[in-house]
Amino acid sequence: MRSWCFWSQEMWSSVLIVLLGLRVHGATDGFAVVTPQTPVSAPLGGSATLPCWLSPAISAEALEVRWYRPNKFTSPVLLYREQKVQQSSQDPQYEGRVSLGSRGSTNRALNEGNVSLHLENVTLSDSGQYECYVSSDKTYESKTVTLEVNVLGMPPMMSSLPADDGVLNVSCASSGWHPKPAVVWSDRERPVLPPGGVQHEEDGDGLLSVHSWILASPSRFDWLSCKVSLSDKWEREGRLSVRDSSYNCLKDVINEIHLFSAVDITLNSNASHSFLKLSSDGKIVRDSGENLPPCGYLDEMYVLGEPSFSSGCAYWEVLLKLPNTKVKEFWGVGVALKNAERPSDGQLSCSKGFWVLSLQDGKLCVNTEPRVVIPVDQGPQTLGVFLDYDSGELSFRDAEKNKDLVTLSAKFSEPVYPLFNPGIGDESALKISTEVTEKPATANLQTKEKIQNSAV
């Protein structure tokens, strides 16, 4: 009996030693998965590494490493098992674009406990969360990594609308961003100004547009800056002069107009849409009336005028109501860069080299991205267009009411041509006026010279 007890104690001691040995061995097999808490950023079309390590830094060569998107455990981005990458169950959209560690260093990375995912040719659909899952025959652990795909948007398009009591409603619009950008307004003295509002919209291609505005008094501001950014390294800035410089130039043009004719614009039949019909003198345009789509407005249905402008100021007027006809319900007027091509998608935008004010469905719209709607009770009967090429500003006014409608800010990189779109189905045609609405009695020869030298 004693002998049995004695050996039993020895046996239990041996078992304890074995268990302790197993416990120590298990501690070397134990690991934690470590990932960054902040998102990883990568440019569209570039590459990204989603960090994931084992702690302690034990070799992962004999482990299973699975990277997958939420709810896609069985169709992983990458699966490493039995000491090789398994491709049979891989999500097809990642085929040929992913590896463990950096390309060419997979084995070394795994040996050091580095199970990071390297991703090439980053797309917008790659944005979001990724799960780094590591398992052995005894345990497993996983952590999440977030990827942000950065796309730098277009330079902001600035515009100003007259509001009440001499205040301007200054707008800032930009498109083509990802993820959602921030907007910061500032002026010469204040680095941050509170905006009147900020709106984001998703485009059809998955990118984002932003539109922000602020109320500004010309007596308080020389200029306003609008910065749209993802970070300090990913930002675009637009500026607009708020002082009356451009409006003063416009008033000078109108005040001196009796000394010389308005800019003589003629429609170019070689730069006209096939749905349009031009008068023999090149001053009137309307739809052809044949094989037309439903009544309304098509961006691409325009004709360019001549001459083009590459410096200085120019002013012309467009008649939107002819005698014995109703005021036009659909039209578009503006300028286009010399090399701007008629877009295949039918959308004219500032980023494509078009700056256009249009009337559609009873609303005045500016073709910024996103589009800006100008609140008016009724569209103008005579539209005044003022181009200050050197300052990069295009202004529109209701010439009959002597009322400013909107000013667009742009950086013209080449000559621009006047643009005219008569819409579809209107009773009235669109006519380029050979006269201007106002003819006051004072003169400024410097302004006259600036305008006469602006046409090319």
Instruction: Please give the full DSSP string across 5-63, using - where no structure is assigned.
Output: HHHHHHHHHHHHHHHHHHHHHHHHH--EEE--SSPEEEETTS-EEE--EEES----TTS
Of 150, 177, 209, which marks where a domain is finished?
150
The secondary structure element, H or E, covering residue 3 is helix 2-29
The region of weakest confidence among 223-227, 246-250, 280-284, 371-375 is 246-250
Amino acid 106: pLDDT: 66
For 19-34, the pLDDT digits (tens) are 333 333 333 358 999 9
Axis-axis angle for helices 245-255, 445-452 (nearest 10): 90
- The token duo for 361 is 């469905």
Average pLDDT over residues 409-423: 90
State whether 76 and 211 are in the same domain: no
Residue that wins the pLDDT comparison between 54 and 221? 54
CATH label of the domain that carries residue 84? 2.60.40.10
State whether 144 and 291 are in the same domain: no
Amino acid 116: pLDDT: 96
Q: For residue 22, is it within any domain?
A: no
The secondary structure element, H or E, covering residue 210 is strand 208-216
Residue that wins the pLDDT comparison between 20 and 231? 231
Q: Say how far apart CA 440 and CA 383 lie, in whole Å.
A: 19
For 216-228, the pLDDT digits (tens) are 888 787 889 999 9
Contact 195, 225 (CB under 8 A): no
State whether 276 and 383 are in the same domain: yes
Comparing CA positions, the residue from 80, 100, 75 lying closest to residue 90 is: 75
Comparing CA positions, the residue from 245, 429, 240, 401 lying closest to residue 325 is: 429
Contact 380, 400 (CB under 8 A): yes
Identity at 347, one-letter amino acid code: Q
Q: Is the pLDDT of residue 282 over 70?
A: yes
Amino acid 90: pLDDT: 95
State whether 270 and 374 are in the same domain: yes
Amino acid 342: pLDDT: 81
Of 241, 274, 299, which marks where a domain is finished?
241
Write the DSSP assignment of 238-256 as a string of letters.
EEEE-SSHHHHHHHHHHHT
User: In total, how many domains does the chain have?
Assistant: 3
Q: Say how far apart CA 389 and CA 311 lie, in whole Å.
A: 5
Q: For residue 4, is it within any domain?
A: no
For 91-149, the pLDDT digits (tens) are 999 999 999 976 556 678 898 999 999 999 999 999 999 999 999 989 999 999 999 99
Residue that wins the pLDDT comparison between 318 and 345? 318
State whether 448 and 359 are in the same domain: yes
Q: For residue 10, is it within any domain?
A: no
Amino acid 424: pLDDT: 87
Amino acid 299: pLDDT: 80
Comparing CA positions, the residue from 155, 154, 174, 171 lying closest to residue 163 is: 171
Average pLDDT over residues 297-322: 90
Amino acid 56: pLDDT: 93
Task: Give the Å distances, CA to CA, from 74 to 56, 66, 71.
Answer: 28, 10, 8
Q: Is the pLDDT of residue 306 over 80?
A: yes
Q: Say how far apart CA 309 and CA 49 lie, in whole Å.
A: 49
Amino acid 258: pLDDT: 34
First and final CA of the chain: distance in angstroms?
Answer: 120
Q: For residue 60, is it within any domain?
A: yes
Q: For residue 226, is it within any domain?
A: yes
Q: Is the pLDDT of residue 46 over 90?
A: yes
How does residue 4 score in pLDDT terms, banded at 50, 70 and 90? very low
For 154-210, the pLDDT digits (tens) are 888 888 887 777 788 888 988 889 999 999 999 888 888 898 889 998 877 889 989
The region of weakest confidence among 58-62, 247-251, 308-312, 420-424 is 247-251
State whether 362 and 405 are in the same domain: yes
- Which of 59-68, 212-221, 403-412 is predicted most confidently? 59-68
Comparing CA positions, the residue from 179, 171, 172, 238 lying closest to residue 208 is: 179
State whether 266 and 199 are in the same domain: no
Average pLDDT over residues 314-330: 91
Amino acid 99: pLDDT: 93
Comparing CA positions, the residue from 392, 391, 395, 351 lying closest to residue 371 is: 351
CATH label of the domain that carries residue 349? 2.60.120.920
Amino acid 404: pLDDT: 82
Per the rule left: phi > 0, alpha: psi between -120 and 50, beta: everything else, 245 is: alpha
Amino acid 14: pLDDT: 42
For 348-401, the pLDDT digits (tens) are 888 888 999 999 888 888 888 777 777 777 789 999 999 989 888 898 989 888
pTM of this structure: 0.65
Contact 240, 187 (CB under 8 A): no
Q: Is the pLDDT of residue 455 over 80?
A: no
Q: Is the pLDDT of residue 214 over 60?
A: yes
State whether 114 and 235 are in the same domain: no
How does residue 262 score in pLDDT terms, banded at 50, 70 and 90? low
State whether 230 and 269 are in the same domain: no
SS3 403: strand
Give me the chain's average pLDDT, please.
82
Of 209, 241, 273, which marks where a domain is finished?
241
State whether 38 and 83 are in the same domain: yes
Q: For residue 309, is it within any domain?
A: yes
Q: Say how far apart CA 204 and CA 196 lie, in whole Å.
A: 26
Q: Is the pLDDT of residue 40 over 80?
A: yes
State whether 312 and 298 are in the same domain: yes
Q: For residue 12, is it within any domain?
A: no
- What is the rounded (10 degree) CA torsion for 96, 99, 104, 105? -170
State whether 281 and 398 are in the same domain: yes
**φ and ψ at 347, to 5 degrees?**
-110, 115
Q: For residue 444, is it within any domain?
A: yes
Comparing CA positions, the residue from 72, 50, 53 lying closest to residue 119 is: 50
Average pLDDT over residues 229-237: 87
Domain of 335, in residue numbers = 245-452
